Structure 1
Amino acid sequence: MQVQEAARVSFGFADIDWSKPWFAQFAARGERWQRGALRGYAELLAEMNADAGAMQQRTGRGQRLAFIAQDDLPPGAAYEAHIAATGCVPTRHNLHDFFNGSMWFAFPRIKAALNARQSAAIDVLGIGPNRGGVRDTLTLFDENALLFACADPALSAALRGFDWQTLLVARRDAWGARCEVRCFGHALLEKLIAPFKACTGHAWIVDVPSEYFGWNAAARDAWLDESVSTALLGTEALTSRMFAPLPVLGIPGWYAENESAAFYDDTSVFRTGRRSR
């Protein structure tokens, strides 16, 4: 059984294709972590903690970030509350937690904001079968969010309105010049190891200035990190209605088959509908 489990874990880590656009943004650090993960659990934690120490990351209540084995989480302790109180992120030797750890470095302010809001809600409501709407929304963001950076209100409106023909076909040339996407949700990234057409993220729309698209990737990520974290901390009534569904493989430039306009004719994936933010 242990041999089978080791083979399954090894295959998962070995199967990350860093050339894919949804992974490429994390490749510089991710490839090194991947090598550690393939060597073993302790080696992965060592790589993660070396980066945490060097970059002096902080959690939602200002604790120094560190990564610990899942078994080191005290019995009965709530995951988010433990991170907030100690700075220690319980981490398993799997892809899900690998990508979760990556987000603490790609978007540290957003992760800290999510942790701060989650732990504050736990302080008030405790742990129970019903987490409440705000915690559900925070979890949805953490697990499945896409950051849709956009400098054109018409494109944001098209996304909110399920107007796929405008967003993904007619205005295809706007991608990279007036809008773009960053993956954030670690469960979404795990699913994209083996992508499928219906794989859909929850897009959080971020209005950006036009000059954003002249900045390098690091400056864009820093701007998104600051803007989104501020919104998460400053918006009291967070709800799932603040997201818009976006099928990941429909993003222009992210999947060869979507070069054909017929790709978007599949209404089981590119559904019609209307929603308000």
Structure 2
Amino acid sequence: MSPVLGDTAGDPVPPVLGGTRLPVHDDAPVPPHPSADARNEAVAPSAFAAIDWTQPWFSPFARRGRRWQQAALAGYARYLDELNADARASARHTGRGEPLSFIAQDDLPPGAAYEAHIAATGCVPTRHNLHDFFNALMWFAFPRIKAALNARQSAAIDALGVGPTRGGLRDALTLFDENAVLFACADPRLSAALRGFEWHTLFVAGRAAWGERCEVRPFGHALLEKLIAPYRACTAHAWIVDVPADYFGWSADARDAWLDRAVADRLAGDDDLTPRRFAPLPVLGIPGWWTENEAASFYDDATVFRRGRRAR
């Protein structure tokens, strides 16, 4: 079987989560969040300078992100202080209602499960690197979604423990957390095109609909880390959200707040959540995200814009 993401287009090279590679098949196990012992590495502070806030996938988070970037460049302690000042001011909460805060990765107790620790204490173990930088940003951009994911992850750990495999539910939650985009859509034809790998319909014939009847909001922090150095086959797991027609007349903040509530409610009550619920989406095909896709021939690359098993 060819190495495709889910059953489609994209990533001939599996996406990277820091030093861990994300599985590329729907039925493949997803690695647990790394422990303090396995992933306590830091990056050179200069790595944070690589974030280009003018890029469309980073720009929604630029107001807070630029300030955090400067703190991260100044050092690990300054960076954690900045995150915690924002956490106190915003009164965010984790999956079981604990006040959100950020701690050094070394402060995660040995053997503690990452998600369970966050739910029980409110403390998010955070390394001085880009992966955890984008994870922290999502706690502020989409706090209800992050809390819903954490609640379900920790409940699954309580029920089943931490074993050699995670199971379909925790696989899906991890894929959402790490690699999802929210595909907000008011046109069922476009949602169907995404589900059916009909790339010409979605990106060429339907190009004028982008920004008026559909859009993508980035969420997965590993995806954002990959987009520091974007490549043509970079592929997200798209979570399709049906939105009202007037959604596209709202401000960006109002759209994000609506998505945050709607998606969190859906995640909390979804009893049939598996990796197959996502639709693969090669993100550099999104209109306005990459200048090369202004030419219709960009979508002729069958190594990226594949038909997929479901389409076949």
Q: TM-score per shorter chain, which class?
A: over 0.9
1:85 matched to 2:120: yes
- What secondary structure sits across from 1:224 in the alignment? helix
Q: Matches of 1:46 and 1:242 in 2, distance apart?
A: 38
More helix per residue? 1
1:218 matched to 2:249: no
Map Cα deviations across residues 60-102 of structure 1 (whole Å, 9 max, x no partner). Answer: 0000000000000011110000000000000000000000000
Matched residue, 2:287 = 252
> How far is the alpha carbon of 1:274 from its aligned partner?
5.3
Q: Matches of 1:273 and 1:20 in 2, distance apart?
A: 29
Does the 8 Å contact 1:160/1:274 carry over to 2?
no
1:174 matched to 2:209: yes
Q: Matches of 2:163 and 2:47 in 1, distance apart?
A: 32
Map Cα deviations across residues 125-175 of structure 1 (whole Å, 9 max, x no partner). Answer: 011111111001000000000000000000000000000000000110000
1:51 matched to 2:51: no
- What secondary structure sits across from 1:225 in the alignment? helix
| Aligned-residue identity in percent | 75
Does the 8 Å contact 1:146/1:203 carry over to 2?
yes
Pairwise CA RMSD of aligned residues?
Answer: 1.1
Q: Matches of 1:29 and 1:225 in 2, distance apart?
A: 18
Matched residue, 2:304 = 269
Matched residue, 2:178 = 143
Does the 8 Å contact 1:161/1:274 carry over to 2?
no
> How far is the alpha carbon of 1:237 from its aligned partner?
1.8
> How far is the alpha carbon of 1:10 from its aligned partner?
2.2
1:112 matched to 2:147: yes
Q: Matches of 1:84 and 1:275 in 2, distance apart?
A: 37
Q: Matches of 1:9 and 1:54 in 2, distance apart?
A: 29
Instruction: Return the letter of the residue paired with 1:81.
Output: A
Map Cα deviations across residues 194-243 of structure 1 (whole Å, 9 max, x no partner). Answer: 00000000000000000000000000000000010011110012111110
1:10 matched to 2:45: yes
- What secondary structure sits across from 2:89 in the alignment? helix
Matched residue, 2:238 = 203
1:98 matched to 2:133: yes
Match of 1:37 among 72, 86, 98: 72
> How far is the alpha carbon of 1:273 from its aligned partner?
2.9
Q: Displaced runs of 4+ in structure 1, greater than 4 A?
A: none
Q: Matches of 1:156 and 1:51 in 2, distance apart?
A: 36
**Aligned length in residues:** 271
1:134 matched to 2:173: no
Does the 8 Å contact 1:58/1:87 carry over to 2?
yes
Matched residue, 1:121 = 156
Matched residue, 2:3 = none
> How far is the alpha carbon of 1:11 from its aligned partner?
3.0
